[in-house]
Structure 1
Amino acid sequence: MTKSALIVWGGWDGHTPEQSARLVGSMLEAHDYAVDIEPTTEAFADAGLARYDLIIPAITMSRIEREELTNLIAAVRGGTGLAGFHGLMCDSFRNEPDYQFMTGGQWVAHPGNIIDFTVNITRPDDPIMQGIGDFTYHSEQYYMHFDPSVEVLATTTFSGEYFDELEGVVMPVAWKRRFGKGRVFYSALGHVADEFQVPQMRTMFERGALWASR
């Protein structure tokens, strides 16, 4: 049976939400998913939202109506998968702690802005990370508030060059978790759509999204 996915994009244009949404949609279509792409959170109010096997938000610094959020959370709790990346999932709705509780984290800073940093694979035995070694990356190094119950798959270590107090701090870059009957995957990489050209980043997100799917 063909699986189905909903991708909803919006918010700050600097994160290339539409371009990223369509790129990820094509990625899923290559795995025979039927993909719906919508430009507004109104899609989350759909009474049949739970029919989707996977939902991917590609929204930054936006707002969501209570009915939409309640419906989204219920769908994931019921078994619909949730996957996302960078601020397009973990900086979508800053005023909604219920959403952040579901995703497992919230962006709070990226000292130095676009910099070079290293991504360290902490779970090379996990199928999502299999064959991916540590790699250097050029983007925003996300500092996050995160749920200690998430299963961390990759981390990055802050040098302290841009904020002295962070020297040596180890921060998750990718994680997975269960939320009710649903699975949630998150990667902090993917500031703009062009970053999907980095093989490790793309592979990690692609596998994570497929894992999260019902």
Structure 2
Amino acid sequence: MDKGGRRTVLIVTHTTGYRHASIEPAAQAIAEMARQAGLEPEQVADPSRFDRPLDTVRLIAFVSTTTRRKDVSTEWLVGPRRDVLQAFVRGGGGVLGIHGAADSHYGWPWYGSMIGARFARHPAGTPEGELARTKGRHVALKGMPRRFRHVDEWYWFTDMAADIRPLVTLSARSIGEEGSDHHPVSWAREFEGGRVFYTSLGHTEAAWHDPVVLEHVRGGLLWAARYPARQ
């Protein structure tokens, strides 16, 4: 993919499953991140955008773009649209998956493989949990505290890709759950020629006013978009 003329960040907000109240604040925040980076946001709620070429698109942000798990008729990346998305990723395009993007397109195995995991369940409510950043270096961790607390809806996953290396983890015990103190929350990975950054943070509207979350997503966006070139 020649990214010289590809400056569009396509922000997709279409849902046929649960509709998060945080979608609009998230889309606005991501659009502002794109503008600040010198990129051009394009927000779409109509999936027919995938019926047209993505020749100006550098990164696609799927903002809690849910479908219904047990109803494949609710899936909207179908037919030639699948070919368009696959060609985009395989051509070096970037994908930013936010929260409910993992709760989507259960009838398309490739989509789940691209995101890196599928939503399985979440504990009730939005409890405050203890998060930790990993020791590695990544632009999505820039300025993030080693440990911090955050209120969100915490996703548990299934079908997690073997190459997932979390950037941020949750202490399950901190929200009263059994399990690891290193439960995956976000990750970044190369996939079939493209780059994918996913975070399960962002269920609440308040998350999109949290400087730590915003900088984390900004770093993920820039990395997935390979922008600037040194990322």
Same fold (TM over 0.5): yes
Could you state the TM-score of these two structures normalised by the residue count of structure 1? 0.89
| 3-state SS, counterpart of residue 36 of structure 1 | strand
Show structure 1 runs of 5+ residues with no match: none
2:218 match: 206
CA 1:181 to 1:159, structure 2 compared with 1: closer, same or farther past 3 Å?
same
> Is 1:130 matched with 2:145?
no
1:22 match: 28
> Is 1:51 matched with 2:56?
yes
Structure 2 letter corresponding to 1:182? G
RMSD between aligned residues = 2.0
Question: Per-residue deviation at 1:109?
Answer: 1.0
> 1:123, 1:15 → 2: CA distance?
33
Taking only the aligned residue pairs, the percentage that are identical comes to 26
Bigger share in strand: 1
CA 1:19 to 1:63, structure 2 compared with 1: closer, same or farther past 3 Å?
farther
Find runs of 4+ consecutive structure 1 residues off by over 6 angstroms: none
| 3-state SS, counterpart of residue 13 of structure 1 | coil
CA 1:187 to 1:86, structure 2 compared with 1: closer, same or farther past 3 Å?
same
> 2:200, 2:38 → 1: CA distance?
26
CA contact (8 A) 1:45 1:68 kept: yes
CA contact (8 A) 2:129 2:174 kept: no
1:121 match: 133
| 3-state SS, counterpart of residue 88 of structure 2 | helix
2:39 match: 33
| 3-state SS, counterpart of residue 141 of structure 2 | coil
1:194 match: 206
1:158 match: 172
CA 1:37 to 1:125, structure 2 compared with 1: closer, same or farther past 3 Å?
same
CA contact (8 A) 2:129 2:150 kept: yes
| 3-state SS, counterpart of residue 54 of structure 1 | strand
CA 1:16 to 1:125, structure 2 compared with 1: closer, same or farther past 3 Å?
closer
Aligned length: 210
> 1:129, 1:160 → 2: CA distance?
21
Show structure 2 runs of 5+ residues with no match: 68-73, 227-231
Question: Per-residue deviation at 1:169?
Answer: 5.6
> 1:30, 1:131 → 2: CA distance?
18
CA 1:69 to 1:192, structure 2 compared with 1: closer, same or farther past 3 Å?
farther
Could you state the TM-score of these two structures normalised by the residue count of structure 2? 0.82
Structure 2 letter corresponding to 1:158? A
Alignment of 1:43-192 (within 5 A): 43-46=49-52, 48-58=53-63, 59-61=65-67, 63-64=75-76, 65-87=78-100, 89-133=101-145, 134-145=147-158, 146-159=160-173, 166-168=178-180, 170-192=182-204
Summarize deviations over 1:53-82 as a string: whole Å, max 9, x none.
111112122512232122112201111100
